[in-house]
């Protein structure tokens, strides 16, 4: 299963002709080695590995050479589109300036957190360094399950203990359309290649052993060590050469693993006070939007995701009064207020599941981000080289996404047959099902009006036709109804429900019937054409950009990565 697809590869486009970097032997791989270069801008091993592993864990994809190559092409696409977006002036408007300010605050806060905690950690002993060196020469072949909550993970762990099959649970866990014997397979993993908590738990397992629930930034994992790959060659010279790098990486790991204690102590000094009314208003607004939010439209090559979709900041902003106080805190001797506007600004950086299910906790996380950024700026970290590199990297992704959105919104060229056939194959024509439903809805300006109508319609649904704005649909493909798909798919049959709409209005929805139908290629064609029409402008632009840009790939270095040489060194 491919974790992430380049748009070009998703539609079967032929690879571009590019300059190849010299293919010298690469027996040792370093973080800052250049894996590819796009018009003079480097994609380092460190950036590739971090981005790739993040995508692999989030999607449940398998670590294969094809997946790695495709992910590298996706990163190349991002570099090309970001440069084009700058050329079109998208980096200079108010939207991008606001995004830059947020990315800088995020990076400054992260850098303060890193440096402040690292300064407080004791130095490593030589014995500890020797243990770390030995682990860096090993790899554990991992398979994992991933759940959004600890309760889900513990339930799965108990089922495993009772004899459930790990692969069966992995297929269910990642919601795979077809049974995959490699479900949850991550492949050989180095000590410094994955999330810190995952690495520490994995390297404590014996072959065949299963871990209890392990929390990472992605959710809750259960790990199984399939095999161990050991490098028996441990030398004094190599240890001396690598010990400084090992010490630096392990200090950063300790910083991340021990960070909770640091955060609690730091935030305790801020004397945070909660505004219960403000938090209640925010929680109610999030609940309303969560009930009405639809899943994003499927993207070509995208896998079925497990993450809850993020809330739209603009939609949430419309539900709130910006000046509403959520928290009060002390910083540099002054009492300050953290408002609803401050929270919405940080919303894109907050875990969607936490926002929806534990909004109070997400407010605390947003405040922590705000205070760390303030402290970092006060210490002059905005000019730090690490901060500047991180902001540049994040802004490339932001600008590329802005241009993608613009291209997809205004794309009108119909797709060619090759694109249709390629996407039909990926979407499983002849196997894929569509959800067909009969339903109606009635719009309202206020929640009170919608609630009153709900009570009336619960008794007599036939009077729905008497309301202004009544819309009815018969045998409608649910995925073809933007803004309604998720609600129609999940609503109880024969029961009117009240929904909040993204524009701040309300509606009563009533679903009469739902059924699944298997689609043939011809039946899928109108849907595929509709989806692909959004991407033709993007595909055409990327063809042009690839033709006029020098793109170098270090094939020898890529092959070294495929041999699982530890990139941490």
**Three-state SS for 507?**
strand
**Three-state SS for 327?**
strand
Asked if residue 7 is part of any domain, the answer here is no
Range(s) of the domain holding residue 495: 433-518
Q: Rounded to whole angstroms, how far apart are CA atoms 199 and 188?
A: 12
Q: 157, 80, 133: which is closest to 400 by C-alpha?
A: 80
Residue 458 tokens read as: 């619960």
Pairing of strands 219-230, 138-147: antiparallel
Q: Rounded to whole angstroms, how far apart are CA atoms 259 and 238?
A: 31
CA-to-CA separations, 418 to 12, 18, 563, in angstroms, rounded: 7, 23, 34
Asked if residue 468 is part of any domain, the answer here is yes
Q: Rounded to whole angstroms, how far apart are CA atoms 52 and 43?
A: 12
165: left (phi over 0), alpha (psi -120 to 50) or beta: beta
Q: What is the DSSP letter of 210?
A: B
> Cβ distance 534 to 522 under 8 Å?
no
Asked if residue 439 is part of any domain, the answer here is yes
Interior angle at CA 308, CA 347 and CA 514, nearest 5: 135
> Cβ distance 145 to 306 under 8 Å?
no
Asked if residue 485 is part of any domain, the answer here is yes
Q: Rounded to whole angstroms, how far apart are CA atoms 23 and 20?
A: 8
Asked if residue 492 is part of any domain, the answer here is yes
Q: 19, 64, 20, 18: which is closest to 561 by C-alpha?
A: 64
CA-to-CA separations, 359 to 362, 519, 556, in angstroms, rounded: 5, 40, 48
**Strand partners for 516:** 435
Asked if residue 51 is part of any domain, the answer here is no
Model pTM greater than 0.75?
A: no
Q: State the CATH number of the domain containing residue 486.
A: 3.10.50
Residue 431 tokens read as: 């196997």
Angle between helices 555-562 and 65-87 (to 10 degrees): 140
Domain count, the chain: 1
pLDDT at residue number 143? 93
Per-residue pLDDT of the chain in tens (569 residues, 90 and over written 9) = 333 345 555 444 444 444 444 444 444 567 788 999 999 899 998 899 888 878 877 666 777 888 889 899 999 999 999 999 999 999 999 999 999 999 999 999 999 988 887 666 777 788 888 888 888 888 999 999 999 889 899 999 999 999 999 998 998 888 777 788 888 898 888 888 888 889 889 999 999 999 999 988 788 999 999 999 887 677 777 777 777 778 777 877 877 777 777 888 899 999 999 999 999 999 999 998 887 654 444 333 333 334 567 889 999 999 999 999 999 999 999 999 999 999 999 999 998 888 998 999 999 999 999 999 999 999 999 999 999 999 999 999 999 999 999 998 888 888 888 777 776 665 554 456 778 899 999 999 898 999 999 999 999 999 999 999 999 999 888 877 777 888 888 888 999 999 887 777 899 999 999 988 776 667 677 777 777 888 888 888 999 999 999 999 999 888 887 764 443 33
Which residues have a Cβ under 8 Å from the Cβ of 334 and sit 6 or more positions away?
none
Q: Rounded to whole angstroms, how far apart are CA atoms 479 and 311?
A: 19
Q: 270, 308, 307: which is closest to 286 by C-alpha?
A: 308
Q: Which residue in this structure is represented by tokens 């992995």?
A: 170
Pairing of strands 185-190, 138-147: antiparallel
Tallying the residues shown for the chain, one arrives at 569
Asked if residue 476 is part of any domain, the answer here is yes
Q: What is the DSSP letter of 430?
A: T
Asked if residue 498 is part of any domain, the answer here is yes
Q: 513, 512, 487, 491: which is closest to 501 by C-alpha?
A: 487
């Amino acid at each position: 299963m491919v974790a992430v697809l380049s748009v070009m590869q998703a539609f079967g486009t032929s690879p571009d002709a590019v300059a190849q970097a010299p293919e010298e032997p690469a027996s040792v791989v370093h973080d800052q080695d250049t894996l590819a270069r796009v018009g003079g801008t480097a994609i380092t091993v460190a950036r590739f590995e971090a981005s790739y592993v993040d995508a692999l864990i989030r999607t449940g994809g398998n670590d294969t050479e094809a997946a790695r190559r495709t992910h590298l092409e996706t990163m190349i696409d991002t570099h090309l589109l970001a440069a084009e977006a700058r050329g079109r002036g998208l980096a200079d408007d108010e939207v991008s300036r606001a995004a830059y300010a947020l990315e800088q605050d995020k990076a400054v806060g992260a850098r303060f957190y890193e440096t402040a905690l690292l300064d407080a950690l004791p130095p490593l002993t030589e014995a500890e360094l020797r243990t770390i060196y030995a682990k860096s020469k090993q790899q554990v072949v991992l398979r994992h399950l991933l759940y959004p909550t600890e309760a889900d993970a513990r339930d799965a762990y108990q089922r495993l203990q009772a004899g459930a099959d790990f692969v069966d649970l992995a297929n269910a866990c990642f919601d795979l359309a077809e049974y995959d014997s490699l479900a949850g397979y991550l492949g050989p993993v180095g000590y410094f290649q994955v999330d810190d908590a995952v690495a520490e738990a994995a390297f404590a397992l014996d072959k065949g052993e299963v871990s209890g629930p392990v929390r990472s930034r992605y959710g809750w994992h259960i790990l199984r060590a399939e095999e161990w790959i050991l490098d028996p060659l441990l030398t004094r010279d190599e240890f001396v050469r690598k010990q400084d790098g090992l010490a630096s990486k392990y200090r950063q790991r300790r910083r991340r693993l021990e960070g909770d204690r640091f955060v609690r102590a730091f935030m305790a000094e801020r004397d945070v006070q909660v505004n219960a009314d403000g938090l209640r208003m925010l929680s109610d607004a999030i609940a309303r939007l969560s009930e009405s939010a639809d899943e994003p439209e499927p993207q070509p090559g995208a896998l079925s995701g497990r993450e809850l979709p993020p809330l739209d900041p603009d939609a949430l902003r419309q539900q709130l009064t910006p000046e509403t106080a959520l928290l009060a805190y002390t910083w540099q001797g002054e009492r300050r207020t953290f408002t609803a506007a401050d929270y919405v600004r940080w919303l894109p950086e907050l875990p969607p599941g936490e926002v929806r299910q534990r909004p109070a906790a997400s407010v605390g996380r947003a405040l922590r981000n705000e205070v760390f950024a303030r402290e970092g700026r006060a210490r002059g970290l905005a000019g730090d080289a690490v901060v500047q590199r991180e902001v540049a990297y994040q802004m490339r992704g932001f600008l590329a996404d802005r241009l993608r959105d613009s291209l997809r919104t205004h794309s009108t060229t119909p797709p060619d047959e090759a694109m249709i056939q390629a996407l039909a194959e990926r979407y499983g024509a002849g196997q894929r099902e569509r959800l067909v439903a009969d339903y109606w809805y009635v719009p309202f300006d206020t929640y009170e009006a919608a609630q009153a109508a709900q009570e009336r319609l619960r008794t007599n649904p036939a009077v729905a036709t008497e309301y202004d704005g009544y819309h009815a649909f018969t045998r409608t493909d649910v995925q073809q109804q933007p803004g309604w798909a998720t609600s129609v798919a999940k609503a109880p049959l024969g029961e009117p429900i009240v929904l909040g709409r993204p524009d701040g209005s309300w509606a009563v929805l009533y679903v009469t019937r739902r059924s699944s139908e298997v689609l043939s290629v011809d039946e899928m064609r109108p849907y595929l054409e509709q989806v692909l029409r959004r991407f033709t402008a993007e595909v055409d632009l990327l063809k042009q950009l690839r033709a006029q840009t020098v793109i170098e790939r270090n094939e020898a270095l890529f092959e070294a990565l495929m041999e699982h040489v530890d990139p941490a060194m």
